Amino acid sequence: MRVDGRELPADLVVDASGRAGRVTRALRPPPAVRGDIGVAYVDRQYQLHPGAEPGPMSNAIAWQASLDGYQAILFPHERGIFSVLLVRPTDEPGLLGLRHEAAFDAACRAIPGLSSWTDPDRARPITDVLAGGALVNHYRGQTGPDGTLALPGLVFVGDAVCTTTPMFGRGVTTSLLQARELLGLIDEDGADAVAVGERLDAWSAAHLRPWVEDHVRMDEAVRRSWRGADLDLSERLPSHLILAAAEVDEGIAQGIGPYLSMAAGPASLDAVEPRARAVYATGWRPSPDPGPSRRELVEMVRRAAR
């Protein structure tokens, strides 16, 4: 490896430079799986006042709401700090103004749950409103254009291998799973760089690529629903709709735990997918969570901009 003109000998080089890393980009073909998530978001951090109690939570790691045409998510951190995300479709220009504080504050006041957390009597903002975008699901293995290892002795991990929609927060888990697998392979085949690379590539294809493909399907389904399209029950249901059907079928709820915790891959939902399909065949559909519709939010942003 050459750094600043100086050669550094190494038995193994790990590329954890992310999906946008440029140093080794030419060694691999474009991602084997890629899908534009189709959303952008704005994010602002707050901190609870001393002694203030946290607001409501949807699960152990977040409060979230799937509203009519957009999403809202809140992630608690340490020392009373939390992040509020408003997630919008990229083809909705009327919500670009959410990056302005007045519009962001107005949206938080109007969405139940967020209004509790961000109440000035409970918390104060500690950052500006920050914009995020260019979100993609992608998967790239360890091989070059000819199907062999891109460079024996060089391994790719983390976001350099895969990214998925941040709404499920899987990036930390997929990266830690890769680190654990790589360390195990080094213990077994550390002297054989080719074996390490090939075995890591095979493991990644079996255990990481399915997550990326799963999220590509989900994100496309979410975009269709935000445009007003109904389900196509002739196709396998995307995973998020299987999860949603657990609201009305306890048998589904009992079968989704391993998927949610990533103890098992997306294929683990195949066992309950027919039950979910039966739920939707009755005409049942998930109801939007309480809060303004996207059209109402666009008007709210327009008024705030004035």
d(CA 302, CA 7): 57
188 and 113 within one domain: no
Confidence category of residue 96, pLDDT binned at 50, 70, 90: very high
Residue-level pLDDT at 271 = 96
Is there a domain that residue 111 lies in?
Answer: yes
Selection from 272, 228, 227 nearest residue 246 by Cα: 272
160 and 143 within one domain: yes
Is there a domain that residue 83 lies in?
Answer: yes
Type of residue at 21:
G
Confidence category of residue 57, pLDDT binned at 50, 70, 90: very high
Q: How confident is the model over 38-48, as pLDDT tens digits?
A: 899 999 999 99
110 and 59 within one domain: yes
Residue-level pLDDT at 165 = 87
Residue-level pLDDT at 188 = 94
229's tokens = 């399209």
143 and 120 within one domain: no
176 and 44 within one domain: no
Is there a domain that residue 140 lies in?
Answer: yes
102's tokens = 């007045």
d(CA 268, CA 252): 12
In the predicted structure, residue 167 carries a pLDDT above the cut 80: no
Confidence category of residue 99, pLDDT binned at 50, 70, 90: very high
152 and 91 within one domain: no
Across residues 38-62, what is the average pLDDT?
94
Confirm if 280 and 245 have CB atoms less than 8 A apart.
yes
Across residues 269-286, what is the average pLDDT?
96
Phi-psi region of 59 (alpha: psi -120 to 50; beta: other; left: phi over 0): beta
Q: How confident is the model over 116-150, as pLDDT tens digits?
A: 999 999 999 999 999 988 889 999 999 999 999 99
d(CA 219, CA 217): 6
Query: Domain ends where: 151, 178, 207?
Result: 207
Q: How confident is the model over 201-255, as pLDDT tens digits?
A: 999 999 999 999 999 999 999 988 988 899 989 999 999 999 999 999 999 999 9
49 and 30 within one domain: no
118 and 93 within one domain: yes
Strand partners, 35: 137
163 and 129 within one domain: no
Query: Domain ends where: 134, 157, 177?
Result: 134
Across residues 176-190, what is the average pLDDT?
95
Confidence category of residue 103, pLDDT binned at 50, 70, 90: very high
CATH number at residue 150: 3.50.50.60
150 and 74 within one domain: no
What is the overall mean pLDDT for the chain? 94
Question: Could you list the residue range(s) of the whole structural domain that residue 67 is in?
Answer: 39-134
Is there a domain that residue 174 lies in?
Answer: yes
140 and 109 within one domain: no
176 and 64 within one domain: no
Query: Number of structural domains, the chain?
Result: 2
